[in-house]
Structure 1
């Protein structure tokens, strides 16, 4: 019994000595690690103080895991993300990107829950309209010190503003889609005595052509006609008619009760009241189906309609004309569209901001052929924000022969504007006025109500002076 006690004490002494030795070795190692949590107590690295992101910080020598959430789009887009995430993972051994595709209707709830739990993804897709507010509230990081400056120099000038706030870039753009393009049926133009190679250039010409094209079973024109669609599809035409949007730059008051906005509402009212468009929309603004089925001779829709036409209505493609949306006075250098689209951003609490930025650089800011592959999958219905990608497309056999892509790239996108970042309530108030005017309310009365509703919202929300872009 005594021998066992001595042996037990001896083991205790030995174990204590070994423990002290281990602590001394750890202290001399200089890694700053303590315990099994992977936290860094004595590091100047940004990951030491960033407590969110896609999991714990990696230990020295371990592969870093980057969580990437992409909002669900078309199946072809989902497949493109999967393909190039896999290629990135194979291209190096230091970083593993884990892709999660999140349905759009679940995005907000899932993201808020992840942020509340400190488990937001390191990289996410984010649309341009949300970048400024996300930057202002610290949800996403500035990229200037994480990515090569040449990547931002590669962006077209009118697109840099989409992802920047006060001189800093908070996201990197992946694509743009103009909100308004004119699609017209060349065969119907011929039947109506119109030149199929000459699209209407002014609003008056557009309405005149629509009158000539309207016949039994076919409406001459389709434009947005419900407040939900008008709220965003009219942004480009607001710029076209007025040179600005519905509020002042500092968001202090409405800016719609003027002659320029009266011209805009008069256009919509005349189009609806003249009988050239259906009284009830045959489809939502984003759907080119009525045009594809021959029920509409001219339809205003976004560039995304190209993909739908090429996939679903191949039999009419030879008779489809594509042109910029008509301008109020025929000046095609005035905006007629805004550019929607998506970008990639890094979570404000990511533990691995540099590795996250390296992945973004690889996927959307690096080899032009990666993005050319994406634009091919979209049937060239989406467009590049990068000069180098467009330059590379000139030597790509498929891209260089696409006349619709060339026309939109050259005649629509350079003159298009960014979508507004103010609350949707403002856009909806004006849209309600447009719809009201279309259905018979006097234009002056409709605008007076919009002016009051917008100003009331500004006061109630204390919106004045809160524009994050200023």
Structure 2
């Protein structure tokens, strides 16, 4: 059940009063219904052009509806959307990030899909279940980016791919030396959001969760195991301490980092930036297969004057051929339905299958039941984990303190 404080549930309506011009005006041109579709991805170099061409394919498939794409920078996207929606406007279709999705639902900013789309009509993958709130669906996945272990076989000393955390530690230490590092992740407050993603992978992989859906569980035994493992890697001497993601990812494709756990978007970048880098992928070597998930839902604005047209586009997007085209554009990411890769793609990029196979075990990097308040909880958790990494605090003591601080915060 989604738990949201009144203050945060209405956050979308309480944003700054400086509002950009409305992006949603029900236009009618030559008997066509014109819809607007906003997303950060439309502003991306290269991929944005291909996504706009994908939308144009819909426009050419019929004569009654035209969808116009709107690309915006990530830094201002959410605030712009919530401000416009709070004023009764905004785009008809919106590709949100998960955290903004969970703010939009209780604020009444997006429509439930149930009256327009039946799950049984489509082969939706497991992560789509996270887009249901109180039993109602409010979106479908536009993009699913999973996390797995990427490694450079040339840098693994014995050629053995780690399948357990102990093997990961051993392999990382063995690959470290002469300017190379065996492993890389984030562990600084400056990289807080990325640090959170990497930490979630450890905690989830060791079977921990930040809550049981109703109560916080920051100091549960499995969470503490994950934090303790994070500390072991930090103390191993195998990581470039203080390096940000941009730096160590570049080091990876320059053959200076042997292993990292990262998302499919990064794998796609490696494939583009360093096509001669023969990296491979395998499931993360933790006790369970659970790992973090970057889930970007496609939603419909509650203010739209063209509900039927908006859901006509959603239904089109979910058709097998169009899902395949979208997945090809997104690279190593998956889409709402299960789309098998072509033999040609798998032959060229065998790591794609590893990412796709992770989908059923993917978990959003949010605190279940406290989704909208995840940023507050994230701050508390990261501060306590830094005490473990840098101050030598016992993981149990640190997470006991985190639990007490978080429970007190959630009462405010």
TM-score over 0.5 for the pair: yes
Which residue does the alignment assign to 1:345? 299
Residue 352 of structure 2, aligned match among 377, 399, 405: 405
Higher mean alpha-carbon deviation, 235-244 vs 304-313, is at: 235-244
**CA separation in 1, counterparts of 2:212 and 2:410?**
11
Deviation at 1:147, TM superposition (A): 2.6
Partner of 1:351: helix, strand, or coil? Answer: coil
Structure 1 residues 315 and 170 mapped into 2: Cα distance closer, same or farther (>3 Å)?
same
Structure 1 residues 453 and 102 mapped into 2: Cα distance closer, same or farther (>3 Å)?
same
Residue 249 of structure 1, aligned match among 193, 204, 213: 213
Structure 1 residues 434 and 165 mapped into 2: Cα distance closer, same or farther (>3 Å)?
same
**CA separation in 2, counterparts of 1:400 and 1:365?**
26
The answer to whether the 8 Å contact 1:80/1:374 transfers is no
1:299-318 correspondence runs (5 A): 299-317=260-278
Residue 150 of structure 2, aligned match among 174, 183, 194: 183
Residue 335 of structure 2, aligned match among 355, 369, 384: 384
**CA separation in 1, counterparts of 2:45 and 2:344?**
24
1:229-378 correspondence runs (5 A): 229-245=194-210, 247-251=211-215, 254-281=216-243, 283-284=244-245, 288-317=249-278, 320-327=279-286, 329=287, 334-362=288-316, 364-366=317-319, 368-378=320-330
**CA separation in 2, counterparts of 1:259 and 1:130?**
30
Gaps of 5+ in 2: 1-21
**TM-score, normalised with respect to structure 1:** 0.75
Residue 172 of structure 1, aligned match among 140, 159, 163: 140
Structure 1 residues 129 and 113 mapped into 2: Cα distance closer, same or farther (>3 Å)?
closer
Structure 1 residues 287 and 210 mapped into 2: Cα distance closer, same or farther (>3 Å)?
closer
Structure 1 residues 274 and 237 mapped into 2: Cα distance closer, same or farther (>3 Å)?
closer
**CA separation in 1, counterparts of 2:284 and 2:259?**
11
**CA separation in 2, counterparts of 1:224 and 1:341?**
21
1:74-153 correspondence runs (5 A): 74-151=44-121, 153=122
What do you get for the CA RMSD once the two structures are aligned? 2.5
**CA separation in 2, counterparts of 1:295 and 1:57?**
54
Deviation at 1:422, TM superposition (A): 4.3
**TM-score, normalised with respect to structure 2:** 0.85
- For this pair of structures, how many residues does the alignment match? 381
Deviation at 1:149, TM superposition (A): 4.2
Structure 1 residues 264 and 293 mapped into 2: Cα distance closer, same or farther (>3 Å)?
same
**CA separation in 1, counterparts of 2:92 and 2:307?**
7
The answer to whether the 8 Å contact 1:288/1:301 transfers is no
Greater strand proportion: 2
Deviations along 1:101-146, whole A, 9 cap, x unmatched? 1111121332234224422111111123333432222110011222
Deviations along 1:303-358, whole A, 9 cap, x unmatched? 212112111112322xx22111111x4xxxx2341221212111112111110010
Partner of 2:305: helix, strand, or coil? Answer: coil
**CA separation in 2, counterparts of 1:222 and 1:306?**
15
Deviations along 1:24-57, whole A, 9 cap, x unmatched? xxxxxxxxxxxxxxxxxxxxxxxxxxxx982247
Residue 178 of structure 2, aligned match among 196, 212, 216: 216
Which residue does the alignment assign to 1:40? none
**CA separation in 2, counterparts of 1:297 and 1:53?**
46
Which residue does the alignment assign to 1:430? 381
Structure 1 residues 287 and 220 mapped into 2: Cα distance closer, same or farther (>3 Å)?
closer
Gaps of 5+ in 1: 1-51, 461-470
